[in-house]
Amino acid sequence: MVAPRAVAAAILLLAAGRDARAQPTLSVDLKSPDSIKSAAKIVATKLVSYYHGTEYGKTVGILPGPPSDGLGPYYWWEAGAMWGTLIDYWHYTGDDRYNAITSEALIFQSANSYQHRNWTASLGNDDQAFWGMSAMLAAEVNFPNPPADQPQWLALAQAVFNTQAPRWKTDYCNGGLRWQIPPTNGGYNYKNSIANVCFLNLGARLARYTGNETYSFWAEKTWDWMEGVGYIDEYFNVYDGGNVEKNCSDINFVQFSSNAAVLLHGAAIMYNHTKGSDKWGIRLAGLLGRTLDHFFPNGTMVERACELEKMQCNEDQHSFKGYMLRALATVATVANFTRPVILETLRFNTKAAVQSCLSDGTCGFRWNIGKYDGDTDNGPAGQAMSALAALSTLLIDQQPVKGPLTDSTGGTSVGDPNAGTGPAALEPPRPATPSDRGGASVITALLLASFLCSLVWICSGWTESPGAPATSQPPWI
């Protein structure tokens, strides 16, 4: 019974392979906003075709999965990230055709502060936070507000934050969030960077949006803890995590771009929120320099840990490149000194990303080989999300784009500081110190800009020469 099916599948595959080879690469003029928008529309259409939540009997808001059900390779969190990608798509291109399904998804899955019991088996703090960060983005870009009797974007982000803050425990490792939420999940004893950088990211953005310093207190605390425990090292490498049994000293030194991207975004928001403080400016510049050096070794992004020597990236990692470019675009809008280096990165990488796509919007994974690599395994939604992010974010180079809003600069989302759990478990904010607040200066920004230049390939004729060898540490230490 197995053989005929396998033969049929082989023939189908062969046909698909031939079609793919026959199909030209996605064509786009990267100098023209209209051309970028048309290409983005093709990729967005393809991306949304992987979503079946609007079909009869299917669950609203999710991509097919979790992997074990055989329907598709996507864990629940990745759909949360996809809706964020589509919010950015709307924000940068103005195409609102997916706004309705995006709203519906973000609301339908929001039960219990994005912890619906359907997803308990894979519910990490990071999974919950990826949905929370998409809700936060909706608030920051004035994505159309839901009707008043529905959950509101800002309140949803606050709910996620408020459920996570009480999970910060000092019994092991002197603090930090664990990876998984239910104690019965594998990974509960792992305190990892992704759980903590997502918490920092949400804290920073909530502080900036609402002006409530309880959130920034937690963002500060999380950075300090990650540095203290060695997850962020003196070169601004961001390592993956450690286990409570070893008091987090058994650091897993693998570096994933998702950790760096979410942290970079959070650090830039803190830099902006603290009015250009030296403290966050130095963190931001250091992290940005190391990120570009490590993940863009020849100018094009690679998910080094699983893409470089051998292709072994999983379904999650196939979506990571998009989060990096989306984070970088936001960093450029809130920390002006990073703008030149980030624009160069976006231009170079969007070109590379587009070459990985076919004319029907199907996109492969590798951006550094100049063509479609046929790698739609462990996807293809993640690959499409990444290419869509590349196209959408490049528009910041060509048209005026508003940075993330706050409730005093036009943001209209309605919040609820008590959403999620009771406020009892939260510590009071620490008063702002002069060093946090006073450092805003053009001089600082200029110094940081030249500092950044000194350590990245970008300011040294990088299109011709590949820059520093991949393994080099930044030279300034």
Ligand X SMILES: *[C@@H]1O[C@H](CO)[C@@H](O)[C@H](O)[C@H]1NC(C)=O
Between 73 and 361, whose beta carbon lies closer to ligand X?
73
339 scored as a contact of ligand X (CB under 6 A): yes
- Report the residue from 18, 21, 275, 437 that binds ligand X according to the rule CB under 6 A: 275
106 scored as a contact of ligand X (CB under 6 A): no
Tokens 């970079």 sit at which residue?
264
Between 453 and 470, whose beta carbon lies closer to ligand X?
470
447 scored as a contact of ligand X (CB under 6 A): no
Binding segment (CB under 6 A) for ligand X, from list 107-115, 146-154, 185-193, 382-390? 107-115
Alpha carbon dihedral 222, 226, 232, 234, in 10-degree steps, equals: 100
Say how many residues make up the chain: 477
User: x/- string (CB under 6 A) for ligand X, residues 402-441?
Assistant: -xx------------x-----x--x-------------x-
Please, what is the Cα angle at 369 between 368 and 375, to 5 degrees? 95
With the C-alpha atoms ordered 435, 440, 442, 448, is the resulting torsion angle positive or negative? positive
Between 30 and 60, whose beta carbon lies closer to ligand X?
60
CB 105 within 8 A of CB 58: no
Cα-only R_g, the chain: 21
CB 242 within 8 A of CB 173: yes
- Alpha-carbon span 197 to 143, nearest angstrom: 24
272 scored as a contact of ligand X (CB under 6 A): yes
Binding segment (CB under 6 A) for ligand X, from list 46-54, 86-94, 109-117, 189-197? 109-117
- Report the residue from 43, 160, 198, 229 that binds ligand X according to the rule CB under 6 A: 229
244 scored as a contact of ligand X (CB under 6 A): no
In Å, how far are 13, 100, 369 from 330, measured between CA atoms? 40, 24, 27
285 scored as a contact of ligand X (CB under 6 A): no
**If binding means CB under 6 A, how many residues of this protein chain bind ligand X?**
37
The maximal CA–CA distance of the chain, rounded, in angstroms, is: 74
- Alpha-carbon span 75 to 122, nearest angstrom: 8
- Report the residue from 103, 125, 162, 444 that binds ligand X according to the rule CB under 6 A: 162
- Alpha-carbon span 329 to 390, nearest angstrom: 10
> What does DSSP assign to residue 70?
S
User: x/- string (CB under 6 A) for ligand X, residues 198-217?
Assistant: --------------x-x---
336 scored as a contact of ligand X (CB under 6 A): yes
Binding segment (CB under 6 A) for ligand X, from list 185-193, 231-239, 335-343, 383-391? 335-343
Between 48 and 335, whose beta carbon lies closer to ligand X?
335
| Cβ atoms within 10 Å of 374's Cβ, excluding its own | 15
Structure tokens at 447: 């110094």
Between 432 and 440, whose beta carbon lies closer to ligand X?
440
Partners of 358 in the β-ladder: 25
Supply the minimum distance, in Å, between the C-beta of residue 215 and ligand X: 6
Between 36 and 452, whose beta carbon lies closer to ligand X?
452
167 scored as a contact of ligand X (CB under 6 A): no
118 scored as a contact of ligand X (CB under 6 A): yes
187 scored as a contact of ligand X (CB under 6 A): no
In Å, how far are 122, 262, 319 from 66, measured between CA atoms? 9, 23, 15
DSSP string, 257-305: HHHHHHHHHHHHHHHHHTTS-HHHHHHHHHHHHHHHHHH-TTSS---HH
Structure tokens at 290: 């190391």
Supply the minimum distance, in Å, between the C-beta of residue 361 and ligand X: 26
Supply the minimum distance, in Å, between the C-beta of residue 176 and ligand X: 9
Per CB under 6 A, residues contacting ligand X are: 59, 108-109, 111, 116, 118, 162, 173-174, 212, 214, 228-229, 247-248, 272, 275-276, 297-298, 302, 308, 333-336, 339-340, 368, 403-404, 417, 423, 426, 440, 466, 470
